[in-house]
Amino acid sequence: MNYRLEIRDSFGNVHERKNQYILDSIKNVDGQVNKKTHPYNKKLKEFKQAEKTFLKSLNKVDAHIENGDSRSIKNLKRRLSKAQLKKDFYGKYLDLTYDAVLQYEIAEAEKDQIPAILNHYEELNEKLSESEERLKSLKPSELKERESEIEIKKKEEIERFHQKTNEINKKYSDGLISKKAKKTEGKIAIREHKEKLNEIELLNESKSIKETIENLKHRKKIDVKSMDNVLESYISNIRRKTPVEVEQKKPFISFLTAVLPGLGQLLNGQKMKAFLFFLGSLFIYLIAIPYALGFGNYQGDGIAGLVTLAEGGRRLDRSIMFMIEGIIAIILVILALFIFIMSFKDVHRVEKEKIEGIRPKNWFESKEVIATDGFPYLASSPGYILTIFIVLIPIITAILISFTNLDPNHQSKFNWIGIENYKILFLGRGVAGKAFWLILIWTLIWTLGATTLAILLGFVLALLANQERIKGKPIFRTIYLLPWAVPAFITIMFFSLMVGRQGPITELFKNAFNITLDVKSNPTLTRISLILLQGWLGSSYIFLLSTGVLQGIPKDLYESADIDGATGFQKTWRITIPLVLFQTAPLLISQYTFNFNNFSIIYLFNGGGPFNPSKYGNLAGSSDILISYIYKLTMESNYQALGAAISILISLVLMFFAYIGFKNTKAFKES
């Protein structure tokens, strides 16, 4: 890589090089230019030695600092006292290097703007002193007399307000103004009353002066800080338009310092950024790497423990702990790699920019970038961390468990068995896999039947309740919302008792029709009852959604359809249904996913029964869906690995169909 003839600043402006050694190196491509003996390098070396001596002498320069000055004011006074000296010194080297140009222009900016800040500070100090003197000069007798006058004026104002209020009330009672006008005039009277009381309070000179003093003290802090920020912004602008020249041709520092985040930033002159990345290095070398190697683990052995799963370990060691701590170790290593990459990219970018001529950002500029571009990341980072440890780790654990033999015989220690659990399910083998496909088919039937029925019922009821010819709509709407308002488990348990072997509905059919309805012992009747029950329970929510949308449909659409001679069915099919679906499609899709995992109704109604061991074994019943099947596998029979495998399959299927469903809705496309 060769030197470039020109360099550019942060704004993209092109500048000629001042470094004569680099210019000669560009011109003499085939020849050799001696770096040590080159005249420019000798002058530059003399400049740096002189600058070093000059900066040491600056530390001895005193500024006129008073005892009451704040830290920021003391700093500004020191900078101002040094600004002219810097300007005189760097002015002699403006043609030699852009570093001198930068320091000269910064000194010029400080010399120009700091006096205004100090003068403003002194003006505030003078006003503050005057106010404090005025407060001290106030005589108690005069204050007491003034307070008496204020009290009299307050009483007069209160009497005037009451009189005004009475006049408004009298006008309203005499029928001269309306109720709305009375309310409006009352508000105006109250506002005028409060303003008048505030004016009277300001007559208290002591209180007024105290408020002024507090205001001046506040302004001393805020104004100086704001003006100082303006100065720093101006200096930042100078830095951005003043290039830098380096003899470096390739960005190699980022590679050499990649193993220690913060070191590259320090070499680039960005001390605060280096400090922050050094904290990242501490996390990497004191937390992430040791934990990944097994140091600081509760039982596990870091990443190695994720491989061994406590095999050959102590009797008290549990494979699940080794797995979880191994997952945490991997996440910590990923975070460490993220810090490595971020540090490397940052140093590499700054190096490349320096080679082009762009100066590295100082801390003030970096803070500005963080406050604007980096704020979304800073604000969301706590959420990301919580997501990792509360959501991501349990999900990864469930996925990994599905590849183990965690079953009733391997609760404390289990091993990796690959995709064996998925083979058992897909091939329908073993005590658990035998029922999988039967349960899956019933789950799909249940989901489609119960949800579709609920949607149809809710929509039809909403159409009926929205008809203008229907009387007593509030009563009907209240009745339709009861299934949603009453806790679902109460309704489920109630109907479960009603259709039991000795239940009222069963007895009614037996006495009236001489039919024995043993719903809970008949798989078909149990499934039909579940679909009907969930259709009724879910219809209220759909009714509520549809009612809201129906009431928002413009009447003009229906009037236009009437003019065109459309029938009631055509208006419903062409206007009502498309508009309702457009507004509610995402929520309707979520109803399908909800019922796919609707554990409560299956478990509460009949416990998943009736049971048929010849088809389902001893782990499931005829009305069990996948979610209740997982519960029985994991909580009742300790087949956690198979349960995890089914959970993963369910999640993948639901995510796929939810994505397809949302992707094809207009609401999703236009969001």
| Percentage of residues in the chain having pLDDT higher than 90 | 41
Per-residue confidence (pLDDT) for residue 585, from 0 to 100: 77
Three-class SS state of 410? coil
Per-residue confidence (pLDDT) for residue 97, from 0 to 100: 95
Is residue 649 located within the same domain as residue 577? yes
Would 159 be classed as within a structural domain? yes
**pLDDT for 88-122, tens place per residue?**
999 999 999 999 999 999 999 999 999 999 999 89
Would 612 be classed as within a structural domain? yes
Per-residue confidence (pLDDT) for residue 52, from 0 to 100: 93
Is residue 195 located within the same domain as residue 257? no
396: enclosing H helix or E strand: helix 393-401
Distance CA 281, CA 271 (A): 15
User: Which band of pLDDT confidence, cut at 50, 70 and 90, is reported for residue 279?
Assistant: very high
Is residue 455 located within the same domain as residue 505? yes
Is residue 448 located within the same domain as residue 308? no
The radius of gyration computed from the CA coordinates of the chain, to the nearest angstrom, equals 40
**What residue numbers bound the domain in which 172 lies?**
139-205
Q: Show Cβ contacts of residue 128 under 8 Å, excluding neighbours closer than 6 positions.
A: 213, 216, 217, 220
Phi and psi (nearest 5°) for 7?
-125, 165
Tokens of 491: 């309704």
**pLDDT for 490-523, tens place per residue?**
889 998 988 888 888 888 888 888 777 788 889 9
For residue 399, pLDDT beyond 70:
yes
Is residue 262 located within the same domain as residue 200? no
Is residue 332 located within the same domain as residue 437? no
pTM: predicted TM-score of the whole model, two decimal places: 0.77
User: Which band of pLDDT confidence, cut at 50, 70 and 90, is reported for residue 285?
Assistant: very high
Is residue 541 located within the same domain as residue 633? yes
Would 239 be classed as within a structural domain? no
Per-residue confidence (pLDDT) for residue 142, from 0 to 100: 65
Q: Provide the sign of the torsion angle of the four alpha carbons 29, 32, 35, 37, taken in this order.
A: negative
Is residue 483 located within the same domain as residue 556? yes
For residue 469, pLDDT beyond 80:
no
Q: How many CB atoms lie within 10 A of CB 113?
A: 19
Q: Cβ(22)–Cβ(3) under 8 Å? A: yes
Which of 170, 187, 205 delimits the end of a domain? 205
- Tokens 């995402």 correspond to 586
* Residue 553 φ/ψ region, left for φ over 0, alpha for ψ in the -120 to 50 degree band, beta for the rest: beta
Is residue 314 located within the same domain as residue 261? yes
Give the range among 169-178, 211-220, 268-277, 599-608 with minimum mean pLDDT: 169-178
Would 514 be classed as within a structural domain? yes
For residue 381, pLDDT beyond 90:
no
Three-class SS state of 292? helix
Is residue 144 located within the same domain as residue 187? yes
Would 99 be classed as within a structural domain? no
Region 337-364: mean pLDDT is: 93
Per-residue confidence (pLDDT) for residue 486, from 0 to 100: 84
Distance CA 397, CA 375 (A): 32
Per-residue confidence (pLDDT) for residue 335, from 0 to 100: 94
User: Cis before residue 610, ω within 30 degrees of 0?
Assistant: yes
Distance CA 154, CA 149 (A): 9
> CA 431, 436, 442: angle at the middle one, nearest 5?
135
Tokens of 603: 């478990």
From residue 600, give the alpha-carbon distance in Å to each of 400, 475, 561, 605, 607: 27, 29, 45, 8, 9
Residue 651 belongs to domain with CATH number: 1.10.3720.10
Q: How many CB atoms lie within 10 A of CB 37?
A: 8
Would 291 be classed as within a structural domain? yes
For residue 20, pLDDT beyond 70:
yes
Is residue 356 located within the same domain as residue 261? yes
Which of 166, 183, 205 delimits the end of a domain? 205
Identify which of 459-473, 549-563, 590-604 has the greatest average pLDDT.
590-604
Tokens of 43: 């002058």
Per-residue confidence (pLDDT) for residue 353, from 0 to 100: 93
For residue 359, pLDDT beyond 80:
yes
Distance CA 581, CA 575 (A): 10
For residue 467, pLDDT beyond 90:
no
User: Which band of pLDDT confidence, cut at 50, 70 and 90, is reported for residue 354?
Assistant: very high
**Residue length, the chain?**
671
Which of 401, 416, 449 delimits the end of a domain? 401
Query: What's the longest Cα–Cα distance across the chain?
Result: 118
Is residue 525 located within the same domain as residue 602? yes
**pLDDT for 73-93, tens place per residue?**
888 888 999 999 999 999 999
Would 244 be classed as within a structural domain? no
Give the range among 29-33, 92-96, 186-190, 577-581 with minimum mean pLDDT: 29-33
Distance CA 280, CA 278 (A): 5
Burial of 588 per CB tally in 10 Å (0-12, 13-18, 19+): buried
**pLDDT for 531-566, tens place per residue?**
999 999 999 888 888 888 877 777 777 777 777 777
- DSSP for 64-128, written as a single string: ---TT--HHHHHHHHHHHHHHHHHHHHGGGTTT-HHHHHHHHHHHHHHHHHHHHHHHHHHHHHHH
Q: Name the domain count of the chain.
A: 3
- Tokens 């101006």 correspond to 234
Q: Cβ(117)–Cβ(80) under 8 Å? A: no
Would 120 be classed as within a structural domain? no
Question: For all residues of the chain together, what is the average pLDDT?
Answer: 87
For residue 192, pLDDT beyond 90:
no
